[in-house]
Amino acid sequence: MKKLIETIKNIWQIEDLRNRILITLSFIAIYRFGSFVVLPGVDPSLLGNLQQQTSDGLLGLLNMFTGGAFSQASIFALGIMPYISAAIVIQLLGMAIPYFQKLQKEGESGRRKINNITRYLTILITGGQAPGYIANLKATLPAEAFLLSPGIFWLSSIVVLVTGTMFVMWLGEKITDRGIGNGISLLIMIGIIAYFPQSLMMELASGLEDQGGGLVLFLVEMLVLLLVIMVSILLVQGTRRIPVQYAKRVVGNKQYGGVRQFIPLKVNAAGVMPIIFAQAIMFVPITLVGFSDSETLQGLAGVLTDFAGFWYNLMFFVMVVLFTYFYTAITVNPNQMADDMKRNGGFIPGVKPGRKTAEYLDAVMSRITLPGSIFLGIVAILPAFAMQAGINAQFAQFYGGTSLLILVGVVLDTLQQIESHLLMRHYDGLMDSGRIKGKSSGSMVA
Within 327-418, strands assigned E span 346-347
Mean pLDDT of 326-330: 80
- CA 98 vs CA 95, 119, 327: distances in Å: 8, 20, 19
Q: Is 182 left (phi over 0), alpha (psi -120 to 50) or beta?
A: left
Q: Is the pLDDT reported for residue 252 higher than 60?
A: no
Average pLDDT estimate for 174-195: 85
Mean local confidence (pLDDT), 359-369: 86
For residue 323, the model assigns a pLDDT of 86
Instruction: Select the more confidently predicted residue: 299 or 218.
Output: 218
Confidence class of residue 380 from pLDDT cuts 50, 70 and 90?
confident
Task: Output the CA–CA distances (angstroms, integers) from residue 97 to 84, 105, 333, in the order listed.
Answer: 20, 13, 18
pLDDT confidence of residue 445: 32
Please check the confidence at residue 316 and state whether its pLDDT lies above 50: yes
Statement: residue 179 has pLDDT above 60: yes
pLDDT above 60 for 188: yes
pLDDT for the residue 426: 62
Mean pLDDT of 56-77: 82
- pLDDT reported for residue 9: 80
Sign of CA dihedral 34, 57, 400, 217: positive
Sequence-ordered list of residues with C-beta below 8 angstroms from that of 194, at least 6 positions apart, any chain: 32, 35, 67, 68
Whole-angstrom distance, CA of residue 63 vs CA of residue 424: 39
Whether the predicted pLDDT of 166 surpasses 90: yes
Q: Average model confidence (pLDDT) for the chain?
A: 79
What is the model's pLDDT at position 441?
A: 40
**pLDDT > 80? residue 3:** no
| DSSP SS3 for 400 | coil
Quote the pLDDT of residue 284.
67
**Bridge partner list, 242:** 263
pLDDT value at position 152?
A: 92
Overall pTM surpassing 0.85 (yes/no) = no
Produce one character per residue of 296-332: b if its CB has 16 or more CB atoms within 10 Å, e if not.
eeeeebeebbebbeeebbebbbebbbebbbbbbbebb
Q: What's the angle, vertex CA 127, arms to CA 153 and CA 53, rounded to 5?
A: 65
- Which residue ranges form the domains of the chain, and what is each CATH number? 1-179 (1.10.3370.10), 182-446 (1.10.3370.10)
Please calculate the CA angle 314-320-321 and round it to the nearest 5 degrees.
95
State how far the Cα of 1 lies from the Cα of 9, in Å rounded to an integer. 12
Least confident of 81-95, 250-264, 309-323: 250-264
